[in-house]
Structure 1
Amino acid sequence: MSKVWTATSLLFLLVLLGGIALAGSALAQGDATTPRKGPVIGFSQATTVEPWRLLFNEELRAEAARHPEVTVLMADANDSVAQQVTDMEGFIKRKVDAILISPKESAELTPVVIKAADAGIPVFVLDRNVETDRITQFIGGDNRAIGRAAGHYAVQLLGGEGKARGMIFEVWGGMKTRPSQDRHDGFHEVVEREPGIRFVGQPVDCDWKQHLAYEAMLDILDKEPRIDLVYAHNDPMAYGAWMAARDEGRAEGIAFLGIDGIPSEGVRWVRDGVLSATFLYKTPGDEGLRQALKFLAGEPIARTLTLPTEVIDRQRAEEILAARKNQP
């Protein structure tokens, strides 16, 4: 009987020492009482089904590799708000030194971010902000500015300021996310000054997914005899819309604009003439980790850090891809 009790006790102890279970990879194990060499940082990712988010994670891991004293716990919510809340609560229970989070949806993740702040854990929000000022820092691109840049580009494609004419179909990302709303608002801020431009179709939430944009484009092509430009809130959706137009024999004569500027996707599609342009939306993972480590070391940091953007047309796309090809 004593042998059975010893085995059970050992198993229970091992479970405790295993810490919380996380989707994705954890670079270290152990509970909150385990001695550790350096800070433990939790990273809650909304999903990894999008190439932009895979690059996001890749760049964060590359930065983490430069800091061997740091433990980074990575959790993938698999597109589930409920799972992301659970992941965040796991980090809070573990008493990590800081949390990086890229929310699936802004409002739904706000309460658990506040809970982390109440627990004294600094929270760094990446890409999509939450609806509270109880965060340590927000890092991301200026989505409204990116939308305005796309709007100016669209106006030029359709004839220039004061002369632009055409029908635009807008492909939305997640309607409950701040980036999608800002990309919409910035674009309309510019384009609605042009009386010759009209929008077709009703807003459809394509949730940043290529296949949903494909379906939305098929639907609007069936209803509208004329579409001059498609503005999609990310490159995969722009590409999905282009594929639908191609399959219907209507891709010629339609300009497609996307956002993200990943070399393996949007930049390549611009170079190949599939998209007219994309707009860089840099991933914030590497900078997020750098900023968290600065804060934990007692260095001052800004409350908001805006990442740079640029217009990537065909010439710029060729330059970017040529430079990557020549990298050692």
Structure 2
Amino acid sequence: MSHTRTPTWWLSATAVLSAGLLITGCLSNDPEAVADDDDNGSGAADTAPAGDNAEPGEDVVIGFSGPNAGHGWMGAITAAAQEQGEQFEDVELRVSEGTDDVNLQISQIEQFINDEVDAIVVLPFDGAALTEVAIDAMDAGIPVVNVDREFASPFAARTTILGDNYGMGVSAGTYICERLGDQDGAVVAEIAGIDSLPLTQDRSAGFEDALSDCGLEVSNRVAADFSVAGGEEAASNLLQAAPEIDAIWNHDDDQGVGVLAAIENAGREEFFMVGGAGSANMMREIQDADSVVEATVIYPSTQAADGIRLARLLAQGRAMGDLVQVEVPREIQLYAPVVTEENVEDYLDYAFES
């Protein structure tokens, strides 16, 4: 790809986003390089020495609670968290049943507190509603790792790990600029998720900002609901309203299954499409030369798995091996890369099924 127009605000954001890459590298440090005389081999020395984070530490119990896995991305979140917990011989992972009932999720956290677990990882169905019980856990001395949907208070979590919704929009818009930036009057369409959600608003804002950098704008926009049926209905409405389109960005690959059904039913193929989230379905579409799908933007379904890693380190009093600082960071935001036919093989094995 040859696009060289990089917005100045994106350069500053990249410095923050790159912190997310440290997680995947935190297991390979040389422990001898930062060895501490007080370390008893458990990784729980008072100075929280860095080192090889994969080395076993003291046994810890971690509780995990998340929403119902009725959505492909959400199902992958829980599965990845469970798989990560199983990889550590020093971790007992207790996974609560996924629920979209706020009161039930609150009771799950209360049970973890009563059980005196060593750390809690939470992807809240509603961050604001779970803030108070998360504060209760923190007050009880149990470090909380907040995943994806933020609590309403900084006192509710020791560490927060996030995807980058704004960055998703930037990545999608930048890719479309690379393809269409020299075409005056190019028609760009957007199929959003649930408009009332801040994550949708952030994705749209990033998309608009990136397009404006190359002189493009969103010509047609509809909103769906992250479901297959909602995606099909929204895309049908869009295609009826816009007789000619050059590019579409669909925010969510799960609803993208319905979007593609609507496109097929309409017999439209004059445009290319960029997906969002990074499902295996969309990546296989990218590999299909006859598909309108050219790319998708990753919204990592590994966030809770990374949360388990961080919770383990917090519970054991350890630091991230690739950081000089002797504490786990307060917040980590993961990057939103674009997957195309050139790099799809690098991402396909880690993708979720819609």
Percent of aligned positions that are identical: 28
Distance 1:133 1:235, change over 3 A: same
* 1:139 and 2:161 aligned: yes
Question: Any residues of structure 2 matched to 1:175-214 within 5 Å, and which?
Answer: 175-193=195-213, 196-202=216-222, 204-206=223-225, 208-214=226-232
Residue 269 of structure 1 corresponds to which residue in structure 2? Answer: 285
Maintained 8 Å contact 2:274/2:293: yes
Question: Any residues of structure 2 matched to 1:313-324 within 5 Å, and which?
Answer: 313-318=340-345, 320-321=347-348
Q: Structure 1: any 5+ residue segments left out of the alignment? A: 1-36
Residue 34 of structure 1 corresponds to which residue in structure 2? Answer: none
Q: Distance in 2 between matches of 1:257 and 1:214?
A: 16
Maintained 8 Å contact 1:171/1:237: no
- Count of aligned pairs: 281
Maintained 8 Å contact 2:208/2:218: no
Maintained 8 Å contact 2:296/2:338: yes
Deviations 1:295-326 (A, max 9, x none): 111122001122244211122224555x88xx
Q: Distance in 2 between matches of 1:47 and 1:169?
A: 31
Offset of 1:174 from its aligned partner?
4.0
Deviations 1:181-208 (A, max 9, x none): 3222211111244555343245x351x2
Distance 1:192 1:308, change over 3 A: closer
* 1:291 and 2:310 aligned: yes
Offset of 1:95 from its aligned partner?
3.0
Residue 274 of structure 2 corresponds to which residue in structure 1? Answer: 257
Q: Distance in 1 between matches of 2:159 and 2:201?
A: 21
Amino acid at match of 2:251: H
Deviations 1:242-285 (A, max 9, x none): 211111222x01322112224x3232222123422012222212
Maintained 8 Å contact 1:213/1:241: yes
Question: Any residues of structure 2 matched to 1:117-266 within 5 Å, and which?
Answer: 117-134=138-155, 135-157=157-179, 159-160=180-181, 163-193=183-213, 196-202=216-222, 204-206=223-225, 208-250=226-268, 252-262=269-279, 264-266=280-282
More moved, 98-107 vs 294-303: 98-107
Offset of 1:213 from its aligned partner?
1.0
Maintained 8 Å contact 1:239/1:275: no
Question: Any residues of structure 2 matched to 1:53-132 within 5 Å, and which?
Answer: 53-132=74-153
Distance 1:169 1:108, change over 3 A: farther
Amino acid at match of 2:177: V
Distance 1:113 1:170, change over 3 A: farther
Q: Structure 2: any 5+ residue segments left out of the alignment? A: 1-57, 319-326
Distance 1:139 1:242, change over 3 A: same
Offset of 1:54 from its aligned partner?
2.5
Maintained 8 Å contact 2:120/2:145: yes
Maintained 8 Å contact 2:169/2:205: yes
Amino acid at match of 2:305: D
Distance 1:90 1:168, change over 3 A: farther
Which has the greater radius of gyration? Answer: 1
Distance 1:85 1:184, change over 3 A: farther
* 1:304 and 2:321 aligned: no
Q: Distance in 2 between matches of 1:175 and 1:117?
A: 32
Amino acid at match of 1:160: G
Maintained 8 Å contact 2:137/2:143: yes
Amino acid at match of 1:259: G
Q: Distance in 1 between matches of 2:334 and 2:232?
A: 30
Offset of 1:101 from its aligned partner?
1.0
Q: Distance in 1 between matches of 2:221 and 2:76?
A: 32
Distance 1:187 1:105, change over 3 A: farther
Q: Scaled by the length of structure 2, what TM-score is found?
A: 0.71
Q: Distance in 1 between matches of 2:77 and 2:109?
A: 19
Distance 1:77 1:286, change over 3 A: closer
Q: Scaled by the length of structure 1, what TM-score is found?
A: 0.76
Distance 1:76 1:164, change over 3 A: farther
Deviations 1:142-195 (A, max 9, x none): 2222221111112233x216x453333322234454433322221111124455
Q: Distance in 2 between matches of 1:221 and 1:83?
A: 41
Distance 1:181 1:87, change over 3 A: farther
